[in-house]
Amino acid sequence: MEHIVSSLSNSLLKYGLDIVLPFSVAKYNALAIEHNFQPLPLPSKNNSLAILIGNTKYLWPHFLHHLSEKPESFWEKEKNPLDSYVVTSVENAVRQSLPGKPTETRFSHVFSGENFIAIQHAGQLAGLQYDRSLGFCLHPTYGPWIGLRAVVIVGDAEGYEWDSISTNQESLIPLETLSKLKQEMDHLRAQYKQDHEWSWGKYWRQWIALRDKVSEACLAQQWRYCDEQIRYHYLKDRIFLKQVVQNQSSC
């Protein structure tokens, strides 16, 4: 089954989706029972394979190039260009790399219903470090500078070496630093609960400041998103995004 993962990875790379990690559907569904969220379909009783798809800062220039070819009408109609780009890219990559193979896909921007995916728990099973109290999934190389976008369920993975997937949850952050960061996160969450006019536009820079501190603790600052990618990531401002595309700004 390794060839399935590598084939999909190669197809996704040309879209800027450079994180591709396998995990067990059965283990995900065990977590679903424990934490009371929607399980994934289990095409094969014991051996169903799921593949987590995400990105680093590598996504941004691919995304901007895609947008540069869009007509004016696109900007008037499209509410979330990045979500649409991810859906199209993943569907194309699956079709190209796994022709004729039955698959199902869940996207992280779907927050409820039968197509919901607990993307951070999926990340944990795929080898990322997920700290619920801190609120980040951390990659051992890229730290917090990742976006988790989708999960593809492939079906029977008989013979796949599940033990080769590391789920070591030893902290990537020194414990003393982690304790201080959790205090800062608790403070931000308290502000959220007290502020009835909460919006990302009001507080996003505080979240970025915390993310930078997490990044420094993980020694991952070289993977930091550029300022334009960060701003769009948090604000989803289409007018700003259009200006970036017109100025051909990339990083």
- Rounded CA-CA distance 90/57 in Å is 17
Identity of residue 175:
L
Identity of residue 149:
R
Q: Determine the pLDDT at residue 216.
A: 97
Q: Determine the pLDDT at residue 166.
A: 58
Q: Which residue has the tokens 């201080």?
A: 180
Q: Domain segments of the chain: what residues?
A: 2-160+168-246
Closest residue by Cα to residue 26 from 203, 176, 156, 113: 156
Mean pLDDT in each 10-residue stretch from start to end of the chain (251 residues)? 89 98 92 91 76 98 96 93 98 94 94 93 94 89 98 76 60 91 90 68 87 96 97 94 85 65
Q: Determine the pLDDT at residue 163.
A: 56
- Rounded CA-CA distance 212/218 in Å is 10
pTM, rounded to two decimals:
0.92
Q: Determine the pLDDT at residue 164.
A: 55
Q: Determine the pLDDT at residue 46.
A: 63
Q: Determine the pLDDT at residue 102.
A: 85
Closest residue by Cα to residue 124 from 30, 230, 217, 36: 30
Q: Determine the pLDDT at residue 162.
A: 56
Q: Determine the pLDDT at residue 127.
A: 93
- Rounded CA-CA distance 144/215 in Å is 6
